[in-house]
């Protein structure tokens, strides 16, 4: 990757609906350069897709939570795979420290969250959970600005 690739990604990050023609014009490069570079980055899985950024609260998902998990030795990946399939979950991380994994998820309400936590606790190799409810989101971006 070179600076041109980074510049293309930055334009896409500001609005993934930009046409190749718009990107070429903004970066003062040819349309074919933009098309070829994007196709190459998609093929190499540098770019893995294009998705809308949804305001969760406006679609009724009022709770965002961070759930810490302690998982039985040797069962981390198996448990994470099970949990990652749930529609509420938007991120699953391996972490260092006192916990084995962090789960980030959105829920309609406390009842929805409660049912999810009970399902997670029923997974045989989940030893313990700790749930934190996000009170206010100061910054949350899916895009990465690269230079």
Q: Is 16 found in the same domain as 71?
A: no
Q: The domain containing residue 17 runs over which residues?
A: 3-43
Contact assessment for residue 66 and residue 134, using Cβ atoms and an 8 Å cutoff: yes
Residue 53 pLDDT grade (very low, low, confident, very high; cuts 50, 70, 90) = confident
Residue 51 lies in a domain: no
Q: Is 20 found in the same domain as 87?
A: no
- As a whole number, mean pLDDT of residues 24-38 equals 97
CATH of the domain at 69: 3.30.70.920
C-alpha pair distances (Å), 84 with each of 103, 120, 129:
8, 11, 15
Residue 62 lies in a domain: yes
Q: Is 68 found in the same domain as 38?
A: no
Residue 140 lies in a domain: no
Q: Is 73 found in the same domain as 34?
A: no
Q: Is 61 found in the same domain as 20?
A: no
Q: Is 20 found in the same domain as 61?
A: no
Residue 139 lies in a domain: no
The CA-to-CA distance between both ends of the chain, in Å, stands at: 11
pLDDT digits (tens, 9 = 90+) for 100-127: 999 999 999 999 999 999 999 999 999 9
Strand order in the sheet with 89-94: 89-94, 101-107, 63-71, 126-133
Query: How many domains, the chain?
Result: 2
Q: Is 111 found in the same domain as 75?
A: yes
Residue 48 lies in a domain: no
Residue 96 pLDDT grade (very low, low, confident, very high; cuts 50, 70, 90) = very high
pLDDT digits (tens, 9 = 90+) for 34-49: 999 999 999 999 999 9
Residue 26 pLDDT grade (very low, low, confident, very high; cuts 50, 70, 90) = very high
Q: Is 33 found in the same domain as 78?
A: no
């Amino acid at each position: 990757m070179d600076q041109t690739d980074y510049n293309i990604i930055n334009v896409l990050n500001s609005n993934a609906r930009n046409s190749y023609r718009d990107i070429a014009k903004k970066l003062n490069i040819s349309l074919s350069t933009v098309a070829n570079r994007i196709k190459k980055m998609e093929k190499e899985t540098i770019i893995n897709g294009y998705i809308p950024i949804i305001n969760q609260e406006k679609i009724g998902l009022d709770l965002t939570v961070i759930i810490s998990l302690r998982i039985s030795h040797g069962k981390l990946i198996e448990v994470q795979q099970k949990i990652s399939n749930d529609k509420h979950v938007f991120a699953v991380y391996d972490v260092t420290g006192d916990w084995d994994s962090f789960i980030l998820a959105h829920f309609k309400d406390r009842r929805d969250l409660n049912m999810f936590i009970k399902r997670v606790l029923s997974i045989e190799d989940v030893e313990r959970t700790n749930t934190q409810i996000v009170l206010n989101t100061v910054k949350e971006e899916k895009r990465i600005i690269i230079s």
